[in-house]
């Protein structure tokens, strides 16, 4: 399988970013599967730097959009510009027309802006005026949000959250990693240069390799059962129905299977194992399983619900 570029990207990423190996693997999986990622974490954990570093490893277009409450949909998608010489309107494409788009602090934008981004993510095209324009391939939206500062923010609707393959929650680094970060960054001009080691054709070829990964029928049944258990936990001997407001959608089954296949591909295997499904389940499901007000009152999180589901569903 032609995954030499993956090892090269890992090497370049590690030269700048300390730790965050799990984050990189999920970003690579998103690139290969052609889907999007939502990254949540407190300021200073390296969310933006990680994405910038990854983008610099590719010979591909990259745009960063800083989301603010006064942003307009046209600031993302583009608009029509009147040409006085010809008397006609011509389209001017916005920053969403890139292979990799960083939507920084995406929850600071109002609903109209979020819906414009949603069309791009789901339809792989943007409408300017009366004309639809296809987005480049590959196309990847990497969105970040800050969980501790909610003033002046607009919560992402569930319909938009469901479009993200993963929701990743970053934690503080270990003390040894933080010391390495300090050693690497405590200089007037930190050395953040990386080499271009991959291109869009490499990613598209890897998608063909992904399609060749074998997923047993029994594992397909297991994936469907895991998702079904988030909707009907009593069928699997779980007494957690009062804790779940809404279970995961059918898109969760598709994304769970895709992510598990990519986990196998990145692990150098041609087949999916049950452990691959378990390894990606939390990141695929945490934003799709919505807990009830009762769960909130008891301090029960969607992660805890998913852990119980994985423990209850029989593994093939």
Q: Which ranges of the chain have pLDDT less than 50?
A: 1
pLDDT score for 227: 94
Instruction: Determine the Cα–Cα distance for residues 108 and 152; give it in Å rounded to an integer.
Output: 7
Domains located in the chain, CATH noted: 4-202 (3.40.50.300), 213-312 (1.10.8.80)
pLDDT score for 259: 95
The dihedral through the CA atoms of 42, 44, 50, 53 has a sign that is positive
pLDDT in tens, 264-288: 999 889 999 999 999 999 999 999 9
CA Rg value for the chain: 21
pLDDT score for 170: 86
Global pTM reads 0.88
Counting Cβ atoms within 10 Å, is residue 144 exposed (0-12), middle (13-18) or buried (19+)?
A: buried
Q: Of 88, 82, 91, whose CA–CA distance to 134 is shortest?
A: 91
DSSP strand pairing (140-145 vs 36-40) = parallel
Q: How many CA atoms lie within 13 A of 132 on its CB side?
A: 6
* Strand ranges for 138-203 from DSSP E: 140-145, 164-169
pLDDT in tens, 135-178: 888 888 999 888 776 666 778 877 778 889 999 998 888 888 88
């Amino acid at each position: 399988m032609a995954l030499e570029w993956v090892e090269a990207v890992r090497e370049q990423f590690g030269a700048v970013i300390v730790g965050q190996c799990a984050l990189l693997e999920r970003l690579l999986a998103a690139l290969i599967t052609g889907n999007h990622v939502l990254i949540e974490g407190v300021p200073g954990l390296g969310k933006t730097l990680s994405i910038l570093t990854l983008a610099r490893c590719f010979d591909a277009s990259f745009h960063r959009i800083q989301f603010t409450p006064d942003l307009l949909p046209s600031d993302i998608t583009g608009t029509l510009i009147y040409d006085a010489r010809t008397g006609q309107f011509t389209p001017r494409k916005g920053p969403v027309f890139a292979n990799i788009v960083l939507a920084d602090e995406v929850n600071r934008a109002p609903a109209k802006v979020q819906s414009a981004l949603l069309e791009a993510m789901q339809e792989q095209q943007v409408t300017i005026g009366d004309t639809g324009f296809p987005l480049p391939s590959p196309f990847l939206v990497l969105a970040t949000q800050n969980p501790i500062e909610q003033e002046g923010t607009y919560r992402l609707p569930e319909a938009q959250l469901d479009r993200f393959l993963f929701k990743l929650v970053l934690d503080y680094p270990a003390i040894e990693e933080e010391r390495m970060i300090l050693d690497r960054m405590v200089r007037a001009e930190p050395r953040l240069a990386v080499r271009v080691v991959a291109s869009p054709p490499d990613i598209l070829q890897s998608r063909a390799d992904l399609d060749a990964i074998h997923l047993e029928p029994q594992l397909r049944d297991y994936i469907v059962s895991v998702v079904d258990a988030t909707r009907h936990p009593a069928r699997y001997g779980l007494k957690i129905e009062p804790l779940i407001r809404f279970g995961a959608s059918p898109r969760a089954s598709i994304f769970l299977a895709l992510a598990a296949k990519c986990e196998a591909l990145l692990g150098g295997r041609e087949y999916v194992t049950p452990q691959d499904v378990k390894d990606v389940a939390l990141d695929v499901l945490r934003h799709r399983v919505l807990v009830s007000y009762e769960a909130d009152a008891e301090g029960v999180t969607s992660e805890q619900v998913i852990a119980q589901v994985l423990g209850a569903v029989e593994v093939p």
